[in-house]
Structure 1
Amino acid sequence: MIADVDVVLPCLDEAEALPWVLERIPAGWRAIVVDNGSTDGSADIAHSLGATVVHEPRRGFGAACHAGLLASEAEFVCFCDCDASLDPGLLTGFVRRVEDGESDLVLGRRRPQGLRAWPPHARAANLALSVMLRRRTGLRLKDLGPMRAARRTELLALALTDRRSGYPLQMVVRASDAGLRVSEVDVPYLPRSGKSKVTGTWRGTWHAVRDMRRVLAQRPMDLVGGGVR
C-alpha cells in the first residue's frame, strides 16, 4: 500500500455521507475534508472521524479543491466527491498507475449504477464537454469526473486559477498543455447521498457548463522549463 497520499474531499453539507466516505479511505492515507460553508455539522463530523479539516469560506467547487491541494503535503494527491457517489477506496489503483509511470493524471470514468446515479441532462452536458475538450487538446476522454490522482508537485505547477465548476476541466486542459499524460479508468458511480448542488438540477448543470466553456476558451499556457507559467 502506498502511504504518502492525501485525498482531498470538497464538502458542502455532506453530514450524511461523510462516515461512508471516510471509512473507505485506504489505511495510511490522509483525508483532507475541505468545508465550504456547511451548516449541518459536516466539519465536526469529519474531525471526529479523524480527517484533517480545512475551512474555505469562498464558495465554489474549485475553491474547495484548490484549498485542499494547497493544504496537502503528500507526494500523491487524489480528489473525490464527498457525497458517497464514488468509493475513495478505488483510488489505490489510480495512484499505482501514476507511481508506476503509466500516467501522470488519472481520471475516473463514471459508470452509473442505476438510473438515479447520473441525471440525463448532466450526462448529456458531460458528453458535449468531452467533445469540446477533444477539439481543444486532442484528448479522447469519455468523462470529466471529479475522481482523480496525480503527483502534488505536478498539480501545483499547473497554476490552476478557476475556483468554480471549471476547476476539474482546467486541470485536464493545463495538464495536456504541459505535456502530462492523462488517462481514465472506469469506476462505479452510485446514487449520491442527499441533494446535488450542481448536476442534480438543470440550473446547476448550466452554470457548470458555462464555467467549463470559459476554461476551454482560454489560450494554451506557455510552457517554461517543463512547467506551466
Structure 2
Amino acid sequence: MSPELSIVMPCLNEAETVGICIQKAQSFFEKHNVNGEIVIADNGSTDGSQAIAEKLNARVVPVLEKGYGSALRGGINAALGTYIIMGDADDSYDFEALELFLEKLREGNDLVMGNRFKGGVKKGAMPFLHKYLGNPVLSFIGRLFFNIKIGDFHCGLRGFSKEAFGKMNLNTTGMEFASEMIVKSKLNKLSIVEVSTILHPDGRTRPPHLNTWRDGWRHLRFLLLYSPRWLFLYPAIIMIIVGMILSTILIIQPITFAGIVFDVHTLLYTASSVVVGFQFLAFYALTKIFAVENGLLPKSDRYDNLFKYFNLEKGLIAGFLILALGIYLSVDGLLAWKATSFSDLKPAETLRTIVPAVFTVMLGLQIVLFSFFFSILGLKRNIKLKKKD
C-alpha cells in the first residue's frame, strides 16, 4: 500500500541532527498509527548524513541541483504519500507533534502552514533580526500584496497534499521557495489554513545555511515580481494622477507654497511624472501578459479584461489624439514666436505651452507604439485559444 503521509526533509550536512529528526518522525507514525515514509532529500552532503538516514530506514533521494527549493522539490516529487509534511532536518521542529497538520490535511485543506509566532519561539531559536524585522515585514508584504491571511510566511514546517503540490507549479530553487508555495497556492485558489507550532533552537554546532540579507532580498524580490500590481500598476496610477493634477495647475499659474514659488521648472518634472507613469502602466500590462502566457501566473478575470476593453484600434485613436494635441500646442507656440518676429521670448510664458506640447507628443507616440506591441501579444494569445478550441 502507498503511504498516507510522506515526511520530507531537505538535508545538507545534517549528520548531527538528521537521525534525531528521523526517530521523532518514526515515533509519530507509531504513536498515531500512521502509514508513512520518511524521505531525506539530500543536496550533496559530505558528512555522512546519507548513511545515518539509511541506517534508520529513511529513504534517501539525491538531488543534484543546489538550493533549498531544489532539494525540497526533488524530495517531494519522489514522495509516495497522499499527504506531505516538509520540515528542516536541524531538529528545530518537533516531528513528534504533527497531529494538527495531518488532521487539517485529512479535512481536505490543500496547504497547512505552521505559525511559529502563535506556537512559540524558544529562546535562541530565531535571530533577533528575523524575529522582529525580517519575518514580520515580509509576512506583512505577502498579506498585503496577495490578500493571504497567514501570519508566518516563512515557517519551514508545513503540509500539503501531493495533488495540491502539482497544481502549485513551483520553480524557484532557493529559500524563496517558501514564499512561492504560499503565493502560488493563493493564485491557484487552493485552500490554506494555519496551525500553531513551536520553534526550538536547532541542534547543530555549525552556522545555518540561511543568509539573512541575501535570502531576505530573494523573498522580497519574489513577492514584487509576482505582484505586477504593486510593482507597476499602483505606482503608475499615483504618478499619472499626481502629475496631471500638478501639471494642469502649473500650466494655468505658478504655485506658491510656504513662500516658495513652483513654476515652469517644476512643470518639467510633473509632466515627466505622467510619461513615466504611463511607462509603468505599459510594463504592468506587458509583464502580466508574459507571466500568464508562460505559466508563471494563473489567468484571472482582470487578465481577460485587458483584451476585452483595450485593443489596437482604441490605442491608436487615443495615441493619435494626444499626439495631435501635442502638434497643435507646438504650432501654437511657433505662431506665438512668429508674432514677435522670432525675437526673444519670456521663458515662463512660452514654456507653459512648449512643455505640455513636447510631453504630449512623447506620450502619444508611446501609446501608439505600445498599442502595436500589445496587439502582437494579443495575436499570440488568440492563436493559443484557437488551438485549444
Q: Judge same fold: TM > 0.5, yes or no.
A: yes
Q: Deviations over 1:104-127 (max 9, x none)?
A: 211111144432111111222011
Identify which of 78, 88, 92 aligns with 1:71. Answer: 78
Distance 2:5 2:207 in 1: 27
Identify which of 99, 105, 114 aligns with 1:108. Answer: 114
Structure 1 unaligned spans of 5+ = 225-229
Paired-residue identity, %:
26
Aligned partner of residue 188 in structure 1, secondary structure: coil
Find the counterpart in structure 1 of residue 170 from structure 2.
160
Q: Deviations over 1:193-227 (max 9, x none)?
A: 1134244xxxx011211211222123362149xxx
> After the TM superposition, which residues 203-222 of structure 1 pair with which residues of structure 2 at under 5 Å, given as runs?
204-219=211-226, 221-222=297-298
* Structure of higher CA gyration radius: 2
1:178, distance to aligned residue in structure 2 (A):
0.8
Distance 2:60 2:224 in 1: 34
Root-mean-square deviation (CA, aligned residues, Å) is 1.8
* Alignment CA distance shift 1:138-1:113 (3 Å): closer
| Partners of 1:4 and 1:76 within 8 A in 2 | yes
Find the counterpart in structure 1 of residue 146 from structure 2.
137
Find the counterpart in structure 2 of residue 12 from structure 1.
12
Distance 1:165 1:142 in 2: 18
Q: Deviations over 1:34-68 (max 9, x none)?
A: 11111110011001111000111222100111001
The one-letter amino acid paired with 1:10 is P
Aligned partner of residue 107 in structure 1, secondary structure: strand
The one-letter amino acid paired with 2:22 is L
* Alignment CA distance shift 1:43-1:92 (3 Å): same
Of Structure 1 and Structure 2, the greater helix share is in 2
Find the counterpart in structure 2 of residue 191 from structure 1.
201
Distance 2:81 2:19 in 1: 23
Distance 1:152 1:99 in 2: 12
Aligned length: 218
Q: Deviations over 1:132-160 (max 9, x none)?
A: 10111111222120111111011112110
Pick which of 137-146 and 42-51 moved more. 137-146
Identify which of 68, 72, 91 aligns with 1:84. Answer: 91
For normalisation by structure 1, the TM-score amounts to: 0.89
Structure 2 unaligned spans of 5+ = 30-34, 228-296, 301-389
* Higher relative contact order, chain-length normalized (CA < 8 Å, sep 6+): 1
| Partners of 1:60 and 1:165 within 8 A in 2 | yes
| Partners of 1:117 and 1:192 within 8 A in 2 | yes
Distance 1:162 1:196 in 2: 23
Identify which of 42, 45, 56 aligns with 2:63. Answer: 56
* Alignment CA distance shift 1:114-1:77 (3 Å): closer
Distance 1:142 1:13 in 2: 30
For normalisation by structure 2, the TM-score amounts to: 0.54
| Partners of 2:125 and 2:200 within 8 A in 1 | yes
Pick which of 49-58 and 19-28 moved more. 19-28
Find the counterpart in structure 2 of residue 227 from structure 1.
none
Find the counterpart in structure 1 of residue 186 from structure 2.
176
Distance 2:173 2:115 in 1: 22
Find the counterpart in structure 1 of residue 231 from structure 2.
none
Distance 2:124 2:164 in 1: 35
| Partners of 2:83 and 2:161 within 8 A in 1 | yes
Find the counterpart in structure 1 of residue 331 from structure 2.
none
